[in-house]
Amino acid sequence: MVNSPQESAQPVRDIGGDGEPRIRNGSALRPQTLLLAFLGIHLRGRDLAISSASVIGVLAGLGISEEAARSTLTRMTQRGLLERHRRGRQAYFGLTARSEAVLEEGHQRIWHSSPVNRDWNGRWTLIGFSLPESWSQQRHDLRSRLLWAGFGPLQNGLWIAPSAVDVPALLGDLRLDAHIRAFTAETVKPTETAQFVRDAFDLEGLAAGYQRFLERWDRRRPLPELRDDLLRELLLQAEWLQLLRGDPRLPLEHLPADWPAPQAEEVFRDLAAVLRDPATRVAADTLDFMAVS
């Protein structure tokens, strides 16, 4: 299955379905989000499929029932995110072009971007739009896409992001060009940048997310209740990616002095390095892979 660049770049949250059960270890992550993170660690860029038994066992370690795990595998296959293979009586699941694109986007966010924007050039991307009242679905799709790309609502019909954004790549497939105006700009007096950052973006919510992450992970041995480091690595990366996807990378100079993202990033990178080798050993000992062409 081959997708256009715009379709392939869709955020994970736009692929997931409502009503998925949440895991029971204090995280708000859904089974599909966790499974995508797991596949990103163990299958991305590799010609492999993994057995359903391995998937069920890993998700069980995070409190997800076998029924919920099987349902997640089925939904992801139906949505073109997984391809089913068989070896004897055992079912294996591999990636598709669509899921490879989703996982590559996640990999780039985790390892090649930072929530800490220290090199901002002072320019903003602005999107103005006016849609007919009856276009509720188009309005929802547009706002969802803008939020995913790091925009915040400055005022009615005007959204802003603290970076250069490829607007045609982001919004072109929505076919709303006649109703959208895009600009890049710098602020001038009397506008106070720090004030409209507070107005357009949920700073309290963003900070609270990083604080929760630090409370869970900034300790000598985090989550000792989990059975092994494979599960810790999976949950660490899944939670970090969720934070990054919700963070517009606001200029650090216009954020509160105690902004928690820099500390959270340091904790993530240090802990990811500590967990990498032991998690890889657990995977080699416990997971059942099959080569696919």
The 3-class SS string of 89-155 reads CEEEEEECHHHHHHHHHHHHHHHHCCCCECCCCCCEEEEEECCCCCCHHHHHHHHHHHHHCCCEEEE
**Total residues found in the chain within this entry:** 293
Domains and CATH numbers, the chain: 1-117+203-293 (1.10.10.10), 124-186 (3.30.70.240)
The rounded mean pLDDT for the chain is 89
Strand-pairing partners, residue 48, are 291
What is d(CA 56, CA 84) in angstroms, rounded to the nearest whole number? 15
pLDDT digits (tens, 9 = 90+) for 226-246: 999 999 999 999 999 999 999
Sheet-wide strand order for 152-155: 152-155, 158-161, 124-129, 180-185
- pLDDT number for residue 281: 97
- pLDDT number for residue 57: 97
52 residue type, one letter: S
- Sorted by sequence, the CB contacts under 8 Å of residue 56 that are 6+ apart come out as 66, 69, 70
- pLDDT number for residue 191: 85
| Low-confidence residues of the chain: pLDDT under 70 | 1-28
- pLDDT number for residue 27: 54
